[in-house]
Amino acid sequence: MSEKLIQRLCVIGVGLIGGSLARALKKAGAVAEVVGAGRATSHLQKAKELGVIDRFETDISLAVKGCDMVVLAVPLGAMQTVFEKIAPELNDDMVITDVGSAKGSVVRAAQAAFDMLPDTLVPGHPIAGTEKSGVEASFAELYNNRRIILTPLDTSSDSAVNKVRSMWQACGAEVVETSIEHHDEVLAATSHLPHMLAYSLVDTLAKMDEKNEIFDFAAGGFRDFTRIASSDPGMWHDICLANREALVKMINKFSHDLQQLSKAIESNDSDYIKETFTRAKQARDKYCDSKNINDSLE
């Protein structure tokens, strides 16, 4: 039998993202054994029944023993505790990566947990997901043709980076590399800000006296714009605090532009309104063309 890319994989946090990774690697025949770890036995039992993992442990130090790849797929607020539990089991053959949506906070968590950053640590972030959570929502195709951003550290060894890259490529993903700072700034703009807007808009409407009528009359445009407000509140609480600095900068920038638009509407400034909408339409059309997106807007 030919040697697999990964002999023993430990997925800590077998939810949407960790479960989908395990499913994809199994489907690709790239892993010999998958060990799941998490807090609730019932969740891990479910993952085993679904064939996502082969066995599980609730003790993380036990779960990672003998693993050549460990993936942290837990909420950002849990990263440090998990790193602390892995620390006594660290060895040169154990590559460690994560899937956290902000990268600076993950590295700070690793720095706090380990005496020295291990050269086997390679932070990462799959640009793929849905608004659903849990292993039941996981599927093997989640990473097909999607981007994975790796943010290798100065300490990361080439062999560890290569192994993490190969793992994601086996899932059908395209792997790119960037710095932690750049990742956190770009993601604040493209992912974290839109989630804040969706949550905030739905919350504003939900607090209004006419909320029943408002939601009654809401059509496809409202549904498209607010889909991500159905994402897990706990996970997004962790993400916005983890990427606080870059996100607050983006929220302030957006608030300023929204204020300008409000003033233009108030003062009948047609030129400003048309220019803003035209620039936005051109930018979105270009984005859709480049990604082959064909959606009908209401």
Binding characters for ligand NAP, 169-188, by CB under 6 A (x = yes): --------------------
- Min dist CB 124 to ligand NAP, Å, is 9
Interface with ligand NAP by CB under 6 A: which range of 8-16, 86-94, 108-116, 266-274? 8-16
Q: Does 9 bind ligand NAP (CB under 6 A)?
A: no
Binding residue (CB under 6 A) for ligand NAP from 129, 160, 168, 193: 129
How far apart are alpha carbons 244 and 260 in whole angstroms?
Answer: 24
Site for ligand NAP in 240-279 (CB under 6 A): none
Interface with ligand NAP by CB under 6 A: which range of 62-70, 98-106, 173-181, 276-284? 98-106
- Min dist CB 110 to ligand NAP, Å, is 14
- Min dist CB 260 to ligand NAP, Å, is 31
H, E, C per residue of the chain:
CCCCCEEEEEEECCCHHHHHHHHHHHHCCCEEEEEEECCCHHHHHHHHHCCCCCEEECCHHHHCCCCCEEEECCCHHHHHHHHHHHHHHCCCCCEEEECCCCCHHHHHHHHHHCCCCCCCEECEEEECCCCCCCHHHCCCCCCCCCEEEECCCCCCCHHHHHHHHHHHHHCCCEEEECCHHHHHHHHHHHHHHHHHHHHHHHHHHHCCCCHHHHHHHCCHHHHHHHHHHHCCHHHHHHHHHHCHHHHHHHHHHHHHHHHHHHHHHHCCCHHHHHHHHHHHHHHHHHHHHHHCCCCCCC
Binding characters for ligand NAP, 58-87, by CB under 6 A (x = yes): ---------------xxxx-x--xx-----
Strand 31-37 and strand 6-12: the pairing is parallel
Binding residue (CB under 6 A) for ligand NAP from 5, 21, 38, 122: 38
Contact indicator for 9, 33 with CB cutoff of 8 Å: yes
The closest alpha carbon to 98, from 71, 69, 74, belongs to: 71
Binding residue (CB under 6 A) for ligand NAP from 5, 6, 9, 14: 14
Q: Does 123 bind ligand NAP (CB under 6 A)?
A: no
- Name the residue nearer to ligand NAP (CB basis): 54 or 282: 54
Q: Does 152 bind ligand NAP (CB under 6 A)?
A: no
- Name the residue nearer to ligand NAP (CB basis): 207 or 291: 291
- Min dist CB 235 to ligand NAP, Å, is 6
Q: Does 118 bind ligand NAP (CB under 6 A)?
A: no
Contact indicator for 36, 55 with CB cutoff of 8 Å: yes
Interface with ligand NAP by CB under 6 A: which range of 22-30, 107-115, 121-129, 160-168? 121-129
> Which residues form the interface with ligand NAP (CB under 6 A)?
12-18, 38-40, 43, 73-76, 78, 81-82, 99-101, 125-126, 129-130, 133-134, 232, 235, 239
